[in-house]
Amino acid sequence: MNLLDTIAAHRSIRTYRPDPLPPDDLDAIIHAATRASSSGNMQTYSIIVTKDADRRAALWKMHFEQDMINEAPVLLTFLVDWNRMNRWCRAREADPGYDNFLCFLVGFADALIAAQNAALAAESLGYGICYMGTTLCATPQLVDFFDLPLGVFPATTMVVGKPAEDPETRARLPVESIVHEERYHDFDEDRIAQTYRDRETEGWNRYMAFPDLADRIRESGVKNLAQVYTTVKYTREGNIRFSKDLLEGLERHGFLNHDDDAFNTGILPREA
Ligand SMILES: Cc1cc2nc3c(=O)[nH]c(=O)nc-3n(C[C@H](O)[C@H](O)[C@H](O)COP(=O)(O)O)c2cc1C
């Protein structure tokens, strides 16, 4: 398949065969990740490869017990990583000013762009992938599990393996609703309704096909797909709770310095 065909055929895979990846294939996937563009070519990310079944079982727990983590032979955890760069700078008498939110976002972008390169490489080799958004909800546990030092923080996770299912590709919002000519044009109510019309049916039917989710949707009394998102899947309460963990983690890992005097006040250890 050429690249555009690989992209068009993408669908997340959630059921896997246990066959290990041949080392050459895994190398090719990781190599593709590292060929991605990165800010200043600094490559401020790292990738942790997890194959060990016991460690995958521990990660399964942290990732809200998503079974594909135990099934798929490989789990790739992409990290924002300024530690490597900081250590190099310090060893060369260069003072790294990378302990702030801007640099976290730079590293996060680098990590996600590398991850998507890995995803496309894996799919082009006939593997399936699925991202784990639960990464951002489990950062306190992941930081401990992977022994992440200052300047390193989880960004995303991806399972990789041979698919044991062949799902349809999922529809997307109309391209015209995504693209704006020259400047942002906000939609009127009708255009919003039109944009989400097909999604409202497709998404509702999809979620109601999962028995556990369907039970939760029925119990919650929600009436439409938008309410499924806001009331069942991604609630304000959950988002705030995980945001709090994230902000605390970012502070602990040295990414929230917005004070010129932070080093002098002892908020951040100079030598860490
Ligand atoms: C950042 C990110 C996090 C995701 N997290 C999960 C997840 O935790 N569990 C899951 O089953 N799918 C996850 N997905 C997959 C999305 O649900 C999927 O991409 C979306 O429904 C579109 O379906 P498709 O990938 O099959 O086209 C995630 C995707 C992204 C990009």
Report the atom number in ligand 1 closest to the C-alpha of 11.
26
Q: Does residue 214 surpass a pLDDT of 80?
A: yes
Res 271 pLDDT > 60: no
- Give me the pLDDT at residue 18, please: 95
Which of the listed residues 10, 131, 158, 166 should we mutate to test ligand 1's pocket, taking the one with most ligand atoms within 8 A of CB?
131
Segment 29-75, tens digit of pLDDT: 999 999 999 999 999 999 999 999 999 999 999 999 999 999 999 99
* Averaged confidence pLDDT in the chain: 95
Q: How far is CA 26 from CA 12, 22, 159, 163, 263, in A?
A: 18, 7, 12, 16, 41
Identify the pLDDT of residue 29. 98
Buried b (16+ CB within 10 A) or exposed e, 55-69: ebeebbebbeebebb
Nearest atom of ligand 1 to the alpha carbon of 14: 11
Tell how far the Cα of 132 is from the centroid of ligand 1, in angstroms: 7
The pTM of this model reads 0.94
User: Which residue among 15, 62, 63, 130 has the greatest number of ligand 1 atoms within 8 angstroms of its CB, and so is best to mutate?
Assistant: 130
Note the pLDDT of residue 268.
56
CA of 190 to the centre of ligand 1 (A): 28
| Best probe residue, ligand 1, of 132, 137, 212, 225 (max atoms within 8 Å of C-beta) | 132
Report pLDDT for 272: 47
pLDDT digits (tens, 9 = 90+) for 158-170: 999 999 999 999 9
**pLDDT at residue 258 in the model:** 86
pLDDT at 59: 98
Mean pLDDT calculated for residue range 173-195: 98
Q: Which helix (H) or strand (E) holds 218?
A: helix 211-220
Nearest residue (by CA) to ligand 1, atom 30, is 131
Do residues 239 and 233 lie in contact, with contact meaning Cβ atoms separated by under 8 Å?
A: no
| Percentage of residues of the chain with pLDDT beyond 90 | 94
Judge whether 140 and 108 are in contact, CB under 8 Å.
no
Q: Which pLDDT does position 266 carry in this prediction?
A: 52
What is the mean predicted confidence (pLDDT) over 178-184? 98
Strands (E), the chain: 45-50, 74-81, 128-131, 152-161
> What CATH number does the domain located at 3-167 have?
3.40.109.10
Over residues 243-267, the pLDDT tens digits come to 999 999 999 999 999 876 655 545 5
Question: Which amino acid residue places its CA nearest to atom 9 of ligand 1?
Answer: 132
Whole-number pLDDT of residue 269: 58
Give the binding-site residues of ligand 1, using a 6 Å CB cut-off.
10-12, 14, 66, 130-134, 156, 170
End-to-end CA distance of the chain: 47
What pLDDT is attached to residue 262? 54
Q: What is the DSSP letter of 260?
A: T
